[in-house]
Amino acid sequence: MGDKERGYAHRIDVRAGAEEVWRALTDTELLGRWCSPGAEIRARPGGLFRASVDRLTELEAHIDVFEPGRRLRLIYLKSVALPPADTVMVDDFMLEPVPGGTIVRLLGSGVPATPAWDTQYLRLRTGWQQAMTRLKVVVEAEA
């Protein structure tokens, strides 16, 4: 029997087109401005995402879904910096063009619901919430 899982959901409404938001998600320089200093991405199907969203723990992820202007899904790789887990952690960014801008949703899943993961879960959830706010600011300033 595997661990129970938990996740998080964040949404921002950005006053810019989906292309501008996509660029901020997939351009290493912009990613470093809103996600975390030193963040890297090899923006392509099967590529790599590396960042320290909580500013403490560097995470690496495989880019599982890469649909320009629409969707970017990250599957996190196991890390010695994290507690053991029998789950697959995923972050799924979805962009929805709307009149006057873009709705950006981030759905995170697969975080173990165990005491060993309580602190890391809080850091991930809060870190992404803060990063999404910075994403909005960076993209709107560039638009």
Domain ranges across the chain: 5-142
Model confidence over 61-118: pLDDT tens digits?
999 999 999 999 999 999 988 999 999 999 999 999 999 999 999 999 999 999 999 9
Q: Give the number of other Cβ atoms within 10 Å of residue 42's Cβ.
A: 12
CATH of 5-142 given 3.40.50.2300, 3.40.50.300, 3.40.50.720, 3.30.530.20: 3.30.530.20
pTM here is: 0.94
DSSP code for 99: T
pLDDT in tens, 114-124: 999 999 999 99
Rounded-to-integer distance, Cα 11 and Cα 62, Å: 22
Handedness of CA 93, 128, 118, 77 (dihedral sign): positive
